[in-house]
Every structure is written in structure tokens, then in C-alpha cells.
Amino acid sequence: MRTLICGSMAYDNIMVFQGHFKDQILPDQIHILNVSFLVPQLRREFGGCAGNIAYNLKLLGGEPLIMASVGSDAGPYLTRLDKLKLTSTHVRQHSNALTAQAFITTDLDDNQITAFHPGAMNFSHMEHISGWMDVNLAIVAPDGREGMLQHARELAAQEIPFMFDPGQGLPMFSGEELLNFVKLATYVAVNDYEGKMLEDRTGTSLENIAATVKALVVTRGAEGSSIFSGGQRIDVPCVKATEVLDPTGCGDAYRAGLLYGISNGLDWRTTGQIASVMGSLKIASRGGQNHNPSREDIVSTYQQAFGTTF
């Protein structure tokens, strides 16, 4: 059975400013801010939460099925999906929009200024979930607002267990809407900042949220992650990376590990450890989809980190 990945597909345009933002921005002139940065380095990477999660799940040997909306400029991305043997049956192309794009400028202190254009992502609600898709698990990752709301309702109606991963889309929703996502979802995954925001928006604690789902996962970057399930807390350490080059897409790689473990009926500790390995392998390369470990490489990294296999 396949895992349905509902979320964004995007191009990440990453620029490097060979200086420091603080030297270019005058604090007493912010009200008339007008600055320009020369960026000699520019990379365009394949990204988006759905694209990144599916890519990593495929590396693990899973069967991802992407549901996403792309624009008239999506040709290179669709070609890539074909080469990776990732099914694009439910990737809808819209000729009147561009594919979602992030424009990220980073300075020498690793500060970032980001602009995001949602583009075709706003039409994600035009794709519907039905029983004939033959999926036994899904994730609702950051996407168009209406699409996220609709896909959560449809998955619940089809009784397909799913993970709610609000990510950077969390501010789009009211506390009531977020509580409804949690009510419909089987699992919830957030980073520590999103967890605090989820508590503030909903007026309830993560402990209470954990009690209503099969598992609540909270990631903390280099400090590892915690999985709350069945009244227990499982702390998973961060796996040391060979290099720390770029955190872009690490959360998506981690979530792919979670989905793999769940779909294969693995226990939560093993599942979290696989997720930690995937994040470690990703952070050692630039971009969300440029790491390419074999299944054997993944198992070997897991064994070195935890002294066992999966």
C-alpha cells in the first residue's frame, strides 16, 4: 500500500550575499527601507514539503504518492519525478499560475531574508482524495490553506490515518481550525517553535494534544526529538552528521522516516531513530533533494548510530 503525501511542490531560489545584513540596514531608517544586495551565488533547487518528503520516503524504499498543485513552469520538476519513478498522477498542473517559489537570501552570518510566492499551491483544493487511491497512510503537510482543510476532512471521511504537519502554514489557521485538524488527525508533528505556537493558538497544552492522537512528535533540531504516545515520552537523539551544510528540508526528511516506520508497523523508538538518520543524511548536502544515499547507506548509518538495524 502507498503513502499519500499532500503538500507543496516548489522551487527554492537560494542566493548568498557576501556580506552582513546588519551592515546594510540602518536601524534608524527602517521606516524607509530600500536596500539592494549583490548575490554572486544563486542556486535553484527542487523543493516543497511534498516533493521533499516523497523523495526521502522513496530513498527508504517506501511507496509515496504525491498530491500537489504546480504551475506552467513545472516541466523540469515533472521530468524529475518521472526519472525518480515518483508517480505524478495526482500532481495537477495549472497553466494560469507559476509553481510555488521561495526566494531565500542568506548572509555570511547565516541570517536569511525569505520571500515566498504560493502560486499554484493556492489551487490545491481542486485535488480530491478518494478510496480508490489504495493508500493506507497519509500526511497533510504545508500547502494551500483550503487544500489542507479539505484534505484533512477527506482523509478522515475515508478513515485513512494521517499525520498533520502544519509547519510554516500554522499561522494561516485559527485556534479552532487547528483543534479540528488535531481531532481529525491520527498523528501530529511539529518542531519546538511550532509546538509553542500551537499551544498559544489553541489555548491547550501539547500534553493534552498528545492525549488525543496516537502520537505527537516534537523535533528540536540538534537537540533531537521527542515522541509522545500512549502516555509515554520517547526521546530520540540527533544523529551526528558527516557535515552540517544546509538545514533546508531536514524536517521533511525526518517526517519521511516517521511515515516509513508507521507504514511498516515499527515501534516508536525505531521509527524516531530512522527519522533522525534521514535528517542527518540530508543536512550534509545543500538543497532539499540533493542527498542520494542508497538503502544500504541508510541502514549502515542507522547501525553505526544505534548499534542495531531495522
Residue 86 cell numbers, joined: 515518483
Sequence-separated (6 or more) residues with CB below 8 Å from residue 211: 231
Sequence-separated (6 or more) residues with CB below 8 Å from residue 191: 218, 219, 220, 221, 251
Q: What amino acid occupies position 31? A: H
**CB burial string 5-18: b at 16+ within 10 A, e below:** bbbbbbbbbbbbbe
Set 109, 110, 252, 267: catalytic member: 252
Does the annotation mark 235 as catalytic? no
Going by C-alpha positions, the residue among 288, 286, 263 that lies closest to residue 80 is 288
How many Å apart are CA 65 and CA 58, to the nearest integer? Answer: 10
Q: Which of the residues are catalytic?
A: 252
